[in-house]
Chain A
């Protein structure tokens, strides 16, 4: 009987350790991505979209709490990479300045940037990896319809 209890305890301990390691690894990756993503954001995006991701006046749309972004992050992957002209609507307000393209960003840089902006300022879309970026970019043309 005691043997069984010890075996069960050992098993539970093993599961706990492995699971713990897994979530620890996930946390580490998340931290790596958000910190480097923030670095990219501050070099490439902050001029228009501002430190708190809240945009500026009616010129530059917010990213924080932005329905356009949160409802379909893949569409924003395309928008960042390819740029966008013709305006878009964010949280019921229209914006019409052109968004320049950032096609010099590699998939891992896009993933880090997306992970940062997707989880900063109250946004909570979780981890975005390179695979998701590549897949989104492969199907861009069908996504980047004018949004109304």
Chain B
């Protein structure tokens, strides 16, 4: 009899949750590279995982999960130090998390996933929406020779009424974590995954990207050690921008599709996409 572990993937739409899952399923079934976690056996309905993994192998954009196609994936795994266990991961739509922010309610099923989770993967795409301040922009303009001062600009018309849709990415992510922690029943581990890592890997370590681009989130992560532990990973699951023909071809030309994967953690780069999950499970 296997034991059960429950992890939760959370993130905004397009943050890379399903692409990660697709690459993970390929790596687990391919068994061609060393990984911290391994697939113990195959059973049950694998149609969804096979479908998204097929898209991933063809370097196609993995379809986003929507509210109608949400799935709970159960993986039968083992690994050194872990023994055999079944890992349950709900593949929840990013749209559901957006609705939590605007409607201020979550479904009972989401709530029960949180209650049962021992670890969480927070996905964030490095292309963030910033809440750029007008006052700051004006100061920068004023430093430029010949730029008009704020007082010289007439007609301060407000084009957009405020709504939660305008929340900067860092605020959305902090709020998602707060909503989740409010409902969590135990101290959690949180693996923060900076997805599409290949886009920003030259700009520094994943922790540095968060500190620079999402300083409110960075502070929140650092100051809540009594509520959760966290570790930051940079993960490139696709390996490049598959919407650019040349990049897609370059990825398809690789001898082994696993070579597309990059996982950056604690100043080392790996191909083992199971690392964030293994880190979460180490704490259980």
Q: Does chain A bind chain B?
A: no
Q: What residues of chain A have their CB less than 8 Å away from a CB belonging to chain B?
A: none
Q: What residues of chain B have their CB less than 8 Å away from a CB belonging to chain A?
A: none
